[in-house]
Amino acid sequence: MNIFMGLAIGLLSGFFGGLVGLGGGIIMIPLMVGLLKINQHMAHGTSLVGVVFTGISGAITYSLSGSIELVPALLLASTAMITARLGARYATSLPEWKLKRSFGYFLIFVTIVFLLKPYLGEFSLSSTVWIKTIILLGIGAFAGFLSGMMGVGGGSIMVPAMVIFAGMGQQMAQGISLLAMIPASAIGAFTHNRNGNVHTKILPGLVVGILPGTFLGGSLAHILPEVALRIIFAIVVVYTAIKNIRAKKPETAMEPST
């Protein structure tokens, strides 16, 4: 049962990840918590393992369409690999209710950026090579921390930031983010695993589902309009975000009277 559930989750999250240039974690985590009933910490760690394979499959797909540049991806990954470990450690230190709320607010942010993404290119800034290098290193550092903490690939930060501040095209930014998230997510997943936050039993199905799902999503990203999909996606993610934000702090046990 775990393998089949992992397969279904992998297919769905891989498809969305490849389609919009995200790691798929924002889909994987709610599904694992809701369907598999695993705790939030375990879902974040397991998601990062899946994100590694989403990045691999998505990067290959985007490279076949010429939508990847190696140097920007290396710059992003160089700082993201450092901060992803810090983010994973920070997530482990939080109580589950706080991690749930943090994830909920993060989903709201992702939804806003996701809906605005088609229009971000209109505000792109032109920069010199050195300024772009510094910008990419900064983006990688910030996205890496959020990746390790939230169990996502960081594409929700990398893609719009590259479009706005580095003047990159949408498709190119999505391909670069998928490639950059591979080593960063691997470091975050390794750190989560050392803290016991990876559900190994669902990984075979999850990985098998992610690979074809991401390939399909990445292929369709170049030929299908995303407007209707964005609206549906936003509704689902906002609903999930509200559920997480409403996570209650557990009541402390009262001292017995003497």
User: Amino acid identity of 107?
Assistant: L
CA distance 199 to 45: 8
Per-residue model confidence as pLDDT tens digits over 94-117: 998 899 899 889 888 878 877 776
Per-residue model confidence as pLDDT tens digits over 132-157: 888 899 999 999 998 899 888 777 77
Question: Reduced to 3 states, what is the DSSP secondary structure of residue 201?
Answer: helix
CB atoms < 10 A from the CB of 141, how many? Answer: 18
DSSP assignment of 233-247 equals: HHHHHHHHHHHHHTP
pLDDT tens across the length of the chain (258 residues): 677 888 888 888 878 766 765 656 778 888 888 888 889 999 999 989 988 887 887 788 778 878 788 999 999 999 999 999 999 999 999 998 899 899 889 888 878 877 776 666 555 555 578 888 888 999 999 999 988 998 887 777 787 788 777 777 777 887 888 899 899 999 999 999 998 999 888 888 888 888 788 778 777 766 766 566 566 667 767 877 888 888 888 765 444 444
Backbone angles phi, psi at 55, to 5 degrees: -65, -45
- Cβ atoms 218, 57 nearer than 8 A: yes
Distances (CA, A) of 245 to 41, 112, 145: 16, 16, 20
CA distance 244 to 23: 20
Structure tokens at 54: 């989403």
Q: Which residues contact 219 (CB under 8 A, 6 or more apart)?
A: 18, 61
Q: What is the pLDDT of residue 21?
A: 57
Please identify which residue in the block is written with the tokens 């609903």. 239
Angle between helices 155-165 and 129-150 in degrees, nearest 10? 160
Rg of the chain on CA atoms, in Å = 18
Model's pTM, two decimal places?
0.79
CA distance 111 to 243: 15
Longest dimension (CA), the chain: 73
